[in-house]
Structure 1
Amino acid sequence: MSFGQILSDVASREKRVIVYAPDDSGSELADALATRNLTIDHRQLPAISSEAFVVVRDGGEFQGAISLADLLSFLTPPIRRPEDLDSLARKHRIVYELLDDTVFVSLDRRQLLATSRELEDRAWRTGRGRLHAGFQRADAFEAQRTVYQELSTTDIDIHLYVPGGVDGDPLSDTSVRLHTENGELDRYWFILFDDGDSGAQNCALIARETDDGRYQGLWTYNEALVAEAFNAVE
C-alpha cells in the first residue's frame, strides 16, 4: 500500500466529535475542525454547568474527552509547541491522540512542524527503535538538522530521505542513513517511528503539499497503520 492509498483509506472513515457546552461554543470548534473528516454535534448544557468539553467517538466507541478551551488553544493558529513537556503531556498530547487517524485537508508549515515535534519527542523519550523521516527539499531538512543530530545520539535506527541530498552531509559522522533517490516518497513530508518493543509509542505523520503551499495528510498512533506506512517506505 502506498502513502496515497493510506491517505485515501483513512479519508473514507469518519470520527464523531460531540461538544457539550452551555452556549453555541461548538460553532467555533466546527470552524477550527472544518478541514478534517469529522462529524461534529452539539449538546446543550445548563448555564450553571462547568466549562464546555468535547467527547470523541470512533465507530460509536468512546475515544476520549478534553476541555473545549484546551482543544481550541491547540487548533487556533499558530499552533505552538508548549515549552513545558509536562504541560504537553497533560493537555496537548491528548489532542494528537483524539485526532489520530483523521485526515486533515489544510495545515500550514508551522502547524505541521508542531505535529512533527510531538512525534520526534516520542522517539527521543523512547531512545530506541527505528525512525524514517522524509523531507521534500534540502532546505526543509536544514531547518531541522539539529533535531536529528540530537536523535542520532540515541539507539534509534534513523533513515532520512532528502531529494538530491544535503550539502556536506552534516550527519556523515553519525549512524544516520541518508537516502537521496526516493521516487514517489519525495512528494511527501513524513515521519514514521516504531519503538521496537510493545508498539505503544509507534506513530506516523504523512503529508502531501498542495498547490497553495499548504498540506493534506494525517497523523496516527494506530500500530497497524504505522506498519503499513513503514511497508510503503521499505
Structure 2
Amino acid sequence: MSLGTILTAAADDRKRVVVYAPGDEGTDLADALATRNLDVYRREIPALSADAFVVIRDGSGFRGAVSLTDLLAFLAPPIRRPTELDDLDPAYRAIYELLDNTVFVSLDRRQLLATSRELEERAWRLGRGRLHVGFQSSAAFEAQADLYREMANATRIDIHVYVPPEGDTTHLDDAPLTVHAIDGELERYWFILFDDEGTGAQNCALVAEQQSADRYRGVWTYDPELVEVAFAAIE
C-alpha cells in the first residue's frame, strides 16, 4: 500500500454526523467540521425535549453519540489528542475514538505545522521509538534540521529524515540519525510517522498531499494498525 492509497482508504471511510437540536442550535457545527471528510445533517427536536446531541455513523452503522456542547468544545483549537484516552471523561473519549482517522479535506501549511509539532512532542516526551519524517522541499527540511539534530542527540529515538536530492544534509553527518534522499511518489507527501516500539499507545501519523500552493488534504491518525501501514508504505 502506498501513501496515496492510505489517503484513499481513509477518504472512503466517510462518516455521517447528525445533529439533533431545537431551533437553530448546532448550525455552526457544519462550519466547525468543514475541513473534515464528513456529511453533516440537522434534525430539529422540540425545545423542551432534551439537550442537543450529535450522532455519528459510518458504513458499519451507529458509532456513538455525544452532546453538542462537548463536541463543539472538542473542536475548538488547538485539538490535541491526550496521551491516555482512558484518563478522559467518557464523552470526550468517545469523540476522539469516533473522529480518529477522519480525512481533513483542506488545511493550510500553518495548521499542518501545528499538527506536526504535536506529533513530534509526543515522540520527544516518550524519548524512544522510531520517527520517520518526509520533507517536500529542501527549504522545509533546513528549517527543521536543528530540531531533529537536537532530538536525535537528546533521546533514544531512531530518527529517519527523507529529503529531496538537492537538499544539503552534510551538516547532519555527525548526528545520530539517518538521512534518505527521496524522489518519485514520496516527494508528493508531507509525512511524520511515530512508532513507540512498545504497546502502540503512543503511535501516531500524519500524511498530507499538497493540492495547491498552501492547501493540503490528508489524514492524521493514532490507530497503531494504520500507523504500521504508513511505515510499510515508505520502507
Q: Same fold (TM over 0.5)?
A: yes
SS at match of 1:27: coil
Q: Structure 1: give runs of 5+ residues left out of the alignment.
A: 75-79
2:210 aligns with 209
In 1, Cα distance between equivalents of 2:155 and 2:47:
51
Counterpart check, 1:219 vs 2:226: no
2:178 aligns with 177
In 2, Cα distance between equivalents of 1:90 and 1:221:
16
Tell me which amino acid in the other structure corresponds to 1:26.
Answer: G
In 1, Cα distance between equivalents of 2:51 and 2:213:
37
Q: 1:15 to 1:81 in 2, by over 3 A?
A: closer
Give, in angstroms, the shift of residue 113 of structure 1: 0.9
Larger Rg: 2
Tell me which amino acid in the other structure corresponds to 2:117.
Answer: R
Tell me which amino acid in the other structure corresponds to 2:212.
Answer: D
2:99 aligns with 99
| Identical columns (%) | 56
Q: Structure 2: give runs of 5+ residues left out of the alignment.
A: none
Equivalence map 1:81-230=2 (5 Å): 98-152=98-152, 153-164=154-165, 166-167=167-168, 169-230=170-231
In 2, Cα distance between equivalents of 1:112 and 1:133:
13
Give the aligned length: 223
Tell me which amino acid in the other structure corresponds to 1:73.
Answer: A
Q: CA RMSD in A?
A: 3.2
In 2, Cα distance between equivalents of 1:103 and 1:202:
18
SS at match of 1:117: helix
In 2, Cα distance between equivalents of 1:90 and 1:146:
35
Q: 1:125 to 1:64 in 2, by over 3 A?
A: farther
Using the size of structure 1 for normalisation, the TM-score is 0.79
In 1, Cα distance between equivalents of 2:137 and 2:2:
20
Which deviates further from its counterpart, 187-196 or 6-15? 6-15
Which of 55, 67, 70 matches 1:67?
70
Give, in angstroms, the shift of residue 99 of structure 1: 3.2
Give, in angstroms, the shift of residue 16 of structure 1: 3.2
In 1, Cα distance between equivalents of 2:188 and 2:4:
10
Conserved? CA contact 1:51–1:67, under 8 Å = no
Conserved? CA contact 1:52–1:68, under 8 Å = no
Q: 1:31 to 1:160 in 2, by over 3 A?
A: same
Conserved? CA contact 2:195–2:203, under 8 Å = yes
In 2, Cα distance between equivalents of 1:150 and 1:81:
26
Q: 1:54 to 1:173 in 2, by over 3 A?
A: farther
Tell me which amino acid in the other structure corresponds to 2:70.
Answer: S
Conserved? CA contact 2:64–2:98, under 8 Å = no
Give, in angstroms, the shift of residue 211 of structure 1: 2.7
Q: Residue deviations 1:83-103, cap 9 Å, x none? A: xx9xxx979x97765532111
